[in-house]
């Protein structure tokens, strides 16, 4: 996955984390980690969830990402924003986990449209009481589309935020989101059609 983000978002993060960079210069790594956790823990959990799709595992991966960050903090050279660096560590942690489980699908993989993985039902993505079976609809989506859609809703519909978290350009996020929406709408119509036919059947006779 491409790790670059637009300079604008990286610059904003760097400005926001100036105090943490100052703490890093003083080698006050505890302050840096505390600050990063306070500001980004929820984003890292969201990002992890969009990749691993299991809430408990997402929490675990997010924590592991911070532990890895702590180990690597002395080597941080300040070339990227701290948050960008954190997201890269989190993504790699999750993808390594999926690779270990044989469920890895790269955003850049060719023919990714055809991929529908076999991840089972999960608690937080999908609501039984909803009119649509969201879990089923999301299962119909290929991995990159699903990640973008999940993060889009977790990040209050901010494409910029999704781009930062996934380390891809905002245009790519919008493009993926557009295609994902089309597929979701088509899948929803397909799932809905038998239900409507079922409802309409008594009236027709």
CB of 23 to another protein, least distance (A): 16
Residue closer to another protein by CB (options 15, 27) is 27
DSSP designation for 141? S
Alpha-carbon torsion angle 76, 60, 173, 131, nearest 10: -160
Residue closer to another protein by CB (options 102, 198) is 198
Interface with another protein (CB under 8 A): 33-34, 37-38, 41-42, 44-46, 49, 55-56, 58-59, 62-64, 66-67, 70, 124-127, 130-132, 134-135, 137, 149-150, 153-154, 159, 171, 173-175, 177-179, 181, 184-185, 188
Distance CA(22)–CA(44), nearest Å, equals: 22
Residue closer to another protein by CB (options 109, 185) is 185
CB of 138 to another protein, least distance (A): 8
Residue closer to another protein by CB (options 109, 127) is 127
DSSP assignment of 61-112 equals HHHHHHHHHHHHGGG--SSS-HHHHHHHHHHHHHHHHHHHHT----TT-TTG
Question: Could you give the count of Cα atoms lying within 13 Å of 41 in the half-sphere of its Cβ?
Answer: 12
Judge whether 188 and 139 are in contact, CB under 8 Å.
no
CB of 82 to another protein, least distance (A): 16
CB of 86 to another protein, least distance (A): 12
């Amino acid at each position: 996955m491409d790790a670059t983000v637009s300079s604008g978002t990286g610059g904003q993060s760097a400005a926001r984390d100036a105090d943490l960079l100052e703490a890093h210069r003083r080698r006050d790594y505890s302050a840096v980690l505390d600050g990063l956790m306070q500001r980004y823990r929820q984003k890292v959990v969201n990002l992890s969830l969009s990749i691993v799709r299991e809430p408990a595992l997402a929490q675990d991966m997010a924590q592991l990402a911070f532990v890895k960050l702590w180990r690597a903090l002395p080597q941080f050279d300040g070339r990227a924003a701290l948050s960008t660096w954190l997201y890269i560590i989190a993504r790699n942690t999750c993808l390594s986990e999926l690779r270990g489980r044989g469920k890895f699908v790269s955003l850049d993989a060719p023919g990714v449209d055809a991929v529908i993985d076999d991840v089972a039902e999960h608690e937080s993505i999908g609501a039984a009481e909803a009119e649509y079976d969201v879990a089923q609809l999301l299962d119909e989506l290929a991995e990159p589309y699903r990640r973008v859609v999940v993060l889009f809703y977790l990040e209050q519909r901010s494409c910029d935020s999704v781009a930062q978290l996934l380390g891809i350009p905002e245009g790519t996020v919008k493009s993926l989101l557009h295609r994902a929406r089309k597929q979701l709408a088509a899948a929803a119509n397909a799932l809905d059609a038998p239900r409507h036919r079922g409802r309409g059947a008594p009236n027709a006779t």
